[in-house]
């Protein structure tokens, strides 16, 4: 694994490893995001929630290894996904974003900043492409908790795996059917019937809190990039009913660490 040794993921850090049957009553990764300067960003009027969500997970995985935060380019990842699927769309599925990353890597935000409007003709220059590809050496991997299915929510096993992943210190990309008309109570997204949701919206889960007073026995803490700009809490019952897919990103296990860091210097000349 081409990252600093101090952050190497070991087998007992992986959510797939054996953990106690009884998880702690809460987990909260927000202080880590704050520590690394990874503030919430907004997608504006573009349908790029899934891209922001995957980039948020990538930023966290890199920062956890390197003990410092770096803003990564949503615009580049959106472009990379389009190259792999051979079309020109704004946004898409988590799997498409990951395919783009696996093929092209990712660059810094400053090398290809996010634009208010989508431009299908916008391309990264040669320097940016080289810098992005060099970051494939970070050896990250994409791990499914639940593959996309708009007709099902979370099984008991998937629900436990999601909580376990957060407990082990990794945020979770969550794609959901979302309320057509959001209702909130003290920052908690309220339940609604199936006919009142649409497909869909993506958020980054960054913690959970057991609470017998909430539907399903607790809430997930999430970061939200949509234009409303409201982070908040999601009842367990909402996630169980309406989560289409869930995944997390972390360094590969079982590989050797090195001193290579996220590339910040161009390795070739420009166009």
Question: 71 pLDDT exceeds 80?
Answer: yes
Question: Which residues touch 169 (CB under 8 Å, ≥6 apart)?
Answer: 13, 27, 29, 32, 64
Q: How far is CA 115 from CA 1, 111, 178, 249, in A?
A: 33, 12, 25, 25
Per-residue model confidence (pLDDT) at position 128: 97
The neighbouring-strand residues paired with 209 are 26, 219
d(CA 227, CA 230): 8
d(CA 25, CA 243): 21
State whether residue 30 is helix, strand or coil: helix
| Torsion sign over Cα 254, 3, 56, 9 | positive
User: Which residue in 20, 271, 266, 29 sits closest to 126, CA to CA?
Assistant: 271
State whether residue 170 is helix, strand or coil: coil
Question: 267 pLDDT exceeds 80?
Answer: no
117-169 pLDDT, tens digit per residue, is 999 999 999 999 999 999 899 899 999 999 999 999 999 999 999 999 999 99
Dihedrals phi, psi of 96, to nearest 5 degrees: -70, -40
164-193 pLDDT, tens digit per residue, is 999 999 999 999 999 999 999 999 999 999
User: Which residue in 179, 178, 175 sits closest to 146, CA to CA?
Assistant: 175
Q: How far is CA 180 from CA 172, 189, 193, 197, in A?
A: 23, 12, 11, 5
d(CA 19, CA 16): 8
Of the ranges 46-50, 85-89, 234-238, which one carries the lowest mean pLDDT score? 85-89
How remote is the C-alpha of 102 from its chain's centroid?
15
Report yes or no: 91 and 111 within 8 Å, Cβ to Cβ.
no
Per-residue model confidence (pLDDT) at position 230: 74
> Which residue in the block uniquely carries the two structure tokens 């360094």?
251
Of the ranges 68-77, 99-108, 193-202, 225-234, which one carries the lowest mean pLDDT score? 225-234
Q: What is the pTM of this model?
A: 0.86
State whether residue 234 is helix, strand or coil: strand
Give me the domains of the chain, ranges plus CATH numbers. Answer: 22-251 (3.90.70.10)
The DSSP element (H or E) to which 141 belongs, if any, is strand 140-146
d(CA 249, CA 58): 7
């Amino acid at each position: 694994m081409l990252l600093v040794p101090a952050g190497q993921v070991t087998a007992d850090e992986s959510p797939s490893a054996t953990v106690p049957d009884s998880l702690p009553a809460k987990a909260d990764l927000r202080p880590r995001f704050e520590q690394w300067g990874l503030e919430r960003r907004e997608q504006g009027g573009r349908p790029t929630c899934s891209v922001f969500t995957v980039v948020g997970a990538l930023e966290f995985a890199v920062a956890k290894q390197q003990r410092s935060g770096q803003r990564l380019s949503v615009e580049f990842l959106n472009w990379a996904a389009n190259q792999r699927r051979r079309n020109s769309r704004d946004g898409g599925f988590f799997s498409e974003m990951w395919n783009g990353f696996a093929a092209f890597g990712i660059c810094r935000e400053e090398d290809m900043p996010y634009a208010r409007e989508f431009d299908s003709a916008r391309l990264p220059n040669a320097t940016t492409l080289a810098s992005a590809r060099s970051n494939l050496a970070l050896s990250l991997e994409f791990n499914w908790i639940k593959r996309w299915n708009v007709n099902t929510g979370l099984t008991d096993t998937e629900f436990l795996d999601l909580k376990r992943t957060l407990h082990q210190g990794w945020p979770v990309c969550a794609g959901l059917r979302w309320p057509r008309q959001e209702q909130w109570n003290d920052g908690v997204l309220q339940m609604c019937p199936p006919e009142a949701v649409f497909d869909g919206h993506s958020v980054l889960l960054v913690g959970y809190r057991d609470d017998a007073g909430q539907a399903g026995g607790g809430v997930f803490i999430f970061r939200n990039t949509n234009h409303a700009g409201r982070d908040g809490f999601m009842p367990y019952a909402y996630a169980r009913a309406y989560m289409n897919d869930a995944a997390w990103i972390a360094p590969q296990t079982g590989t050797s660490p090195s001193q290579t860091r996220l590339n910040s210097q161009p390795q070739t000349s420009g166009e």
